[in-house]
Chain A
Amino acid sequence: MDQLSGGEMLIRALHDEGVEILFGYPGGAVLHIYDAIFHQDKVEHILVRHEQAATHAADGYARATGKPGVVLVTSGPGATNAVTGIATAYMDSIPMIIISGQVESRMIGTDGFQETDMVGISRPVVKHSFMVREAKDIPGIVKKAFHIATTGRPGPVVIDIPKDATDPKVKQDYEYPKEVKLRSYAVPAKGHSGQIKKAVDALLTAKRPMIYTGGGVIQGEGSDQLTKLTKKLGFPITNTLMGLGAYPASDKQFLGMLGMHGTYEANMAMHYCDVLLGIGVRFDDRVTNSDTSKFCPDATILHVDIDPASISKTVTADVPIVGAVATVLEEMTDQIGKSDKAVDKQALEVWWNQIEQWREKDCLNIRPSEDGVILPQQVVKAVYEITKGEAYVSSDVGQHQMFAAQYYGFEKPRRWINSGGLGTMGFGFPAAMGVQFAFPDAISVCITGEGSFLMNQQEFATCMQYQLPVKIICLNNQALGMVKQWQDMQYGGRYSHSTYAESLPDFSKLAEAYGHVGIKIEKADELYSKLEEAFALKDKLVFVDVLVDPNEHVYPMAIKGGAMKDMVLSKTERT
């Protein structure tokens, strides 16, 4: 049995857990751990330039691979800087392990230098947290932390380690536990067959069925099962912002994204459906439009989720099914095959005819401007075409995020990397780094806005250090576009603190200052050629600064307080 210090145990345990990469930033309380990292080559450490970026990079890695992201930060400000990234992962149920240094045990509670109560400060945004008391507990805690973070509804787990627990002078026997014993934590596996039967009966008697799926299908690796079930039934399907890619966007049964900026046809079909099958979704306010009493007024609601607390939280489920999405969908498909009932084909045809009429509205139609001004939607479409829909696309938060979600058709799960729940600006760029570390040969694009990008621009340096060829497509409208859009629509066009055109940097020069490539695009006729040029530079980070129409809005847009059928469709049209 090896004799290891606490710091060495931690790194060895990460290796034994299969961790290949961790994102971090050193500081006083974790120096013993960093020395342990120095002495090994099994776990690669990536030095970011801000702890928040470490969490987002780990998050991007986790979303793209399905494996937990791992973060190492020091105590105090290192830990607090990580909190936004932890909350981001928590809201989107992303498996993540955050190891934070802590002051020495004897100093805890004395307001020591760089002391903060990390377990306390992170409590509302973690699935669980551990405070290490003694070095010998480290392997067991790491094992439990990974188990909790990656099973059931995944989420971030914090391990706070006082500096003395990693003391290199104190060595002890190391053994990594083979299994986890947690009497208070059980993971629901299969759904209840009786409940699934009830759902199947409802689906097979539906006249106007609708399938609505979210991030749970992606996290639960249920994409294949979902596609199989949906094809078998022939029902229309929509994905939430978090669920894009779970069902191929190019398929005719796919109605596009739903919700606040969802398509006309998806939102209309939601409103008028008579049976709604929600899978791995949480009926959040960006879908239901806050007044849940107007939500799907005629529908029997079937809700599949691994988290019982998500069921009937905002919208009461008529048939709740708690279980892992993939297994529930499999059983559902099986039961449909064996049922004495069958899909009401006639009713379904009438329903599809109605949906096709809604579809004819072509709500995402792009009307290019005549004066050569670039529309943000055109940029996303061009990126989609040039990358052949194969890229990993991360985004920040705001108009560009919605344009990316609407116009980049995701065919596969885990390709769309965005902060849907917390809505964290500054997420996209470090997340794209995490994706690129996971898949060095893939195209990792960050579709961002100039406002969001400025929140984590320091990661240019990380990308140079590790030669990451991330492509950044900045839809530069010289304003906080979504804020400005709301100010246009609800505040009489009073742009209170949402514009700053005169103080923006020259982004291409900024990229060049770090040794990267900067490309500026100002006219619509050079959009394709310059984007192609950017993506042709396979080994380089390219920042593409695209000057887009500053007056463009995201449509459709839900009307506040309305039902899902109530939408603004353009600056002059509403439903």
Chain B
Amino acid sequence: MRHIISVLMENEPGALSRVVGLFSQRNYNIDSLTVAPTEDQSLSRLTLTTSGDDARVEQITKHLNKIIDVVKLVDLTEGAHIERELMLIKVKAVGAQRAEVKRSVDIFRGQIVDLTANVFTIQLAGTGDKLDAFIAALGDNVVLEVARTGVSGISRGEKTLAL
């Protein structure tokens, strides 16, 4: 099963490599990874998606907790949560294609954030599935470049991951 694990860790050099290293060392998967400092500059928030059965994910969270730089973590998929991924995508847009692509962007509630005579650069946020669906909707031979951030997430309601 797919899990989204959010980790608060010390914003220190080397902390990220400890987390990433753990996954390769113990043969765990990382499907996506996103990390940035939080409002508290001494902390970074890292969100990763991984997959495995319950026993495996339990081991993953235990081993993450053992890393000295890891302050706190939560498996967001254990409860109600919101997940988003941001995609910047460059597509071919010439002639009649321009209107066609624009329509798709509107349907998916994306935005065209840059354009040239031949190319649109589109920003789209949503779940991974939605981004996949958008790419599929564009059809073949249109996509020039894709930059996705990986999943970020937060739990619903009043639950927080904070110190």
> Is A129 a contact of B14 with CB atoms below 8 Å?
yes
Q: Which of B61-69, B116-124, B131-139 contacts A (4 or more CB under 8 A)?
A: B61-69
Binds A, one of B17-25, B31-39, B80-88, B153-161: B17-25
Residues of A within 8 A of B70 (CB): 184
Residues of chain B contacted by A316 (CB below 8 angstroms): 55
In the assembled complex, A119 has its CB within 8 A of some CB on chain B: yes
Contacts A120-B17, A309-B59, A316-B55 given; does A148 touch B163 at CB 8 Å: no
B59 touches A313 (CB 8 A): yes
- Chain B interface residue count, Cβ-Cβ cutoff 8 angstroms: 21
Q: Does A185 contact B (CB under 8 A)?
A: yes
Complex Cα spacing A184 to B9, Å: 8
Nearest Cβ on chain A to B25's Cβ, whole angstroms: 5
B66 touching A309 by the CB < 8 A rule?
A: yes
CB <8 Å contact, B10 and A184: yes
* Inter-chain contact B65/A308, CB cutoff 8 Å: yes
- B71: CB under 8 A from chain A? yes
Residues of A within 8 A of B13 (CB): 131
Contact with B along A302-323 (1 / 0, CB 8 A): 0000011100110010000000
Contact with A along B37-69 (1 / 0, CB 8 A): 000000000000000000100110011011011
Residues in A neighbouring B66, C-beta threshold 8 A? 307-309
Q: Which residues of B contact A312 (CB under 8 A)?
A: 55, 58-59
Q: Does residue A183 face the partner (Cβ distance < 8 Å to B)?
A: yes
Contact partners of A128 in chain B: CB under 8 A: 68
* Inter-subunit contact A124/B59 (CB<8 Å): no
A148 touches B62 (CB 8 A): no
| Interface size of A in residues (CB-CB distance below 8 Å) | 19
Which residues of B lie under 8 Å from residue A182 when comparing CB positions? 68
Contacts of A124 in B (CB 8 A): 21, 25
Return A291 CB to nearest CB of chain B, in Å: 16
Task: Find out whether the CB atom of B14 lies under 8 angstroms from the CB atom of A131.
Answer: yes
- Chain A, range 107-149, C-beta contacts under 8 Å to B: 119-120, 123-124, 127-129, 131, 148
Please tell me if the beta carbons of B63 and A309 are within 8 angstroms of each other in the complex.
yes
* Whole-angstrom distance between the Cβ of B70 and the nearest chain A Cβ: 6
Minimum CB–CB distance from A313 to chain B (whole Å) comes to 6
Cβ 8 A contact of A119, one of B14, B55, B62, B72: B14
Residues of A contacting B18 in the complex (Cβ-Cβ under 8 angstroms): 123
Task: Please give, as numbers and ranges, the residues of chain A lying within 8 Å of B65 by CB-CB distance.
Answer: 308-309
Residues in A neighbouring B59, C-beta threshold 8 A = 309, 312-313
Looking across the interface, which residue of chain B has its beta carbon closest to that of A185? B68
**Candidates A119, A127, A308, A309; contact of B68 at CB < 8 Å:** A127
Q: Are B62 and A123 in contact (CB under 8 A)?
A: no
Q: How far is the CA of A183 from the CA of B12 in the complex (A)?
A: 14
CB nearest neighbor in B for A308 = B62
Residue among A120, A127, A131, A183 with the highest chain B CB neighbour number at 10 A: A183
Shortest Cβ distance from B22 into A: residue: A124
Given A309-B59, A312-B55, A123 contacting B71 (CB threshold 8 A): no
For residue B13, which residue of chain A has the nearest CB?
A: A131
In B1-18, the 8 Å CB interface with A consists of 9-10, 13-14, 17-18
Residues of A within 8 A of B17 (CB): 120, 123
Interface residues of A in 511-542 (CB under 8 A from B): none
- For the complex, give the distance between the alpha carbons of A377 and B58 in Å: 44
Enumerate chain A residues within 8 angstroms of B55, measured Cβ to Cβ.
Answer: 312, 316
Residues in B with CB closer than 8 Å to A148 are 68
B14–A183 CB distance below 8 A: no
A525, chain B: closest CB distance, angstroms: 53
Q: List 5 A-B contacts (CB under 8 A).
A: A119-B14, A124-B25, A148-B68, A183-B163, A309-B66
Known contacts A183-B71, A308-B62, A309-B59; 9 additional CB pairs below 8 A are A123-B17, A124-B25, A129-B14, A131-B13, A183-B163, A307-B66, A308-B66, A312-B58, A312-B59
For the complex of A and B, 8 pairs with smallest distance between CB atoms: A309-B62, A184-B71, A128-B68, A124-B25, A308-B62, A309-B63, A123-B21, A185-B68
